[in-house]
Structures are given as C-alpha cells and as structure tokens.
Amino acid sequence: MIDSKPVIAANWKMYKTPQEGYQFARQLATKALNLKGVKFILAPSATAIFHLAEVLKDTPIEMAGQNMHFAEEGAFTGETSASMLQASGCTWVIIGHSERRHVFGESDDFIRQKVAAALQAGLNVIMCIGERLEDREAHRTQGVLQQQLRDGLEGLDEYPAERLVIAYEPVWAIGTGVVASPQQAGDAHGQVRAILNQRFPGLADADVKILYGGSVKSANAAELISTPGIDGFLIGGASLDVNEYCSIAEIAQNEVQVTN
C-alpha cells in the first residue's frame, strides 16, 4: 500500500551484485531517515533480493521484482514466480517493462496474465507502458497507451486501485539521456489518467499512481515532479548511485511539499 507521497522507484535492471546491492541498501536505509516525504521502492536483480531484505526489513523501503512468470511453479527455466518474490521480501513487481516487451518480445496478453497472477498472489504491481519513437512521430502515442492499458489490465478492475501503479516510460527516453519534456510527460500522464477513468471505472480514482520513467536524473527531476499528473519516478541509470538517487528523492520531497 502506498499513500500520497511521491514514489521514487529504482529499477536496477541487470546491474549490481548482491554485495553491491547490500552496500547501497545500507546507505539508503540511513539516508532515507531524512527523506520520509517519499516512498522508496527498490527493484534489484533477482539474485540480490533476498540479501537486501535483511537490510530493509525494519525500514519503510519496499522491494520489487523486475519481472515474474504467471505460473505458481513449473518447468519454466530461468523464471521466478510471485510467491518466490514474496518469500524473498518483495511486496511489488514490475511488469511489462519496455525491455521485456521489445527485447524479450512479451505481448500485451502475456503481460496481462502476469499482472493478474501478481495481484491474485498479493503482490502490488508497477505496470510499464510507453510508445516507441516511431509511434510518437506518427501521432500514435495515445493509441499505444490505450492498447497497452486495455490489454494489460483487461478484467482486473476489481482489485484495489492502490495496488496498481502505472509507469509511463516512453521507449525513446529510456537510457538515452533524452528526457520527455514536462509538457510531453504531462500530456501522456493526462491521457493515461483519462483512459483509466474511462475504461476501468473500478480503478477510476487518484489512487492509481502514474510514474514517469526515462532518463530521470537530479538535473531534470524538479520540473518533472512539479508537472501535474506525475506522481513519482521509475529510475534506471540514475538509481544506481545512492547519492544521485537520494538527490532525486530529496528534490521530489521538497517540490511536492512546496506545491501541496
């Protein structure tokens, strides 16, 4: 469960050994004492989750898996189930990240099955959506967001809205250093909110947070977080450095306090 604090989520992707993650988590646990105005979620690689849980268990910092399979168990080499993530200390899972969609070929239907299985198992979900550059240039952004939301969440609106977070991550902004402008991000977040309200009345309130992801760093965090409709960040590269990650959190904390 999350409250009205901005969510500052770190997606470490395939970076950091368990030892490196452990060091980061120890430093973050200390620094987070002064950053109570934000909600931290860390998504380490699968091999580091259990190790980090020991550091984070008495802190408000939560952990997310970066992916999962929808089956409870079975002959699925290389996969991790919802209950395995939970037993290792995760309360969240990221599903449908653009790298899962575009590097590993995951379909909207596959993603929907995972979102359903995660919610059913009791994990909270960060579902990622976002258009590719060619979609944006062809003015298809809204259509892509609509399809990814519709297909990814079909039949799932009976779950409490606060168990779902949407991360809007335009593919062209991920890892490129090209960040969406506040106007572009704000427009897309407005579209996501409108689609959710229209298609999923069960989810139709501000409890579904919408995060922005794609080249977020301390230099651009203030203008993004103060854009209406942006409820936090899903951060890749800049989340690997604990000082930079905490700088972003501090900026979010200060900006949201100022605008509240």
Q: Which residues bind ligand 13P (CB under 6 A)?
A: 11, 97, 169, 174-175, 213-216, 234-238
The residue (of 148 and 194) whose beta carbon lies closer to ligand 13P is: 148
Q: How far is the CB of 220 from ligand 13P (least distance, A)?
A: 11
Alpha-carbon distance of 20 to 209, in angstroms, equals 30
Q: How far is the CB of 74 from ligand 13P (least distance, A)?
A: 27
Q: Which of 213, 142, 116 is nearest to 172 (CA)?
A: 213
From residue 251, give the alpha-carbon distance in Å to each of 31, 37, 44. Answer: 14, 10, 23
Alpha-carbon distance of 41 to 93, in angstroms, equals 10
Whether 97 is catalytic is yes
Q: How far is the CB of 28 from ligand 13P (least distance, A)?
A: 17
List 62, 99, 106, 169, catalytic entry: 169
Q: Locate 159 and state its tokens.
A: 């779950």
User: What number of other Cβ atoms are within 10 A of residue 2's Cβ?
Assistant: 19
Q: Which residue is nearest to ligand 13P (CB)?
A: 236
The residue (of 32 and 238) whose beta carbon lies closer to ligand 13P is: 238
List 62, 97, 99, 250, catalytic entry: 97
Whether 79 is catalytic is no
Task: Identify the residue whose tokens are 């994990």.
Answer: 123
The residue (of 2 and 126) whose beta carbon lies closer to ligand 13P is: 126
Query: Backbone phi, then psi, for 141, in 5-degree steps?
Result: -55, -50
Amino acid of residue 227: T
The residue (of 186 and 202) whose beta carbon lies closer to ligand 13P is: 186
Catalytic residue annotation: 97, 169
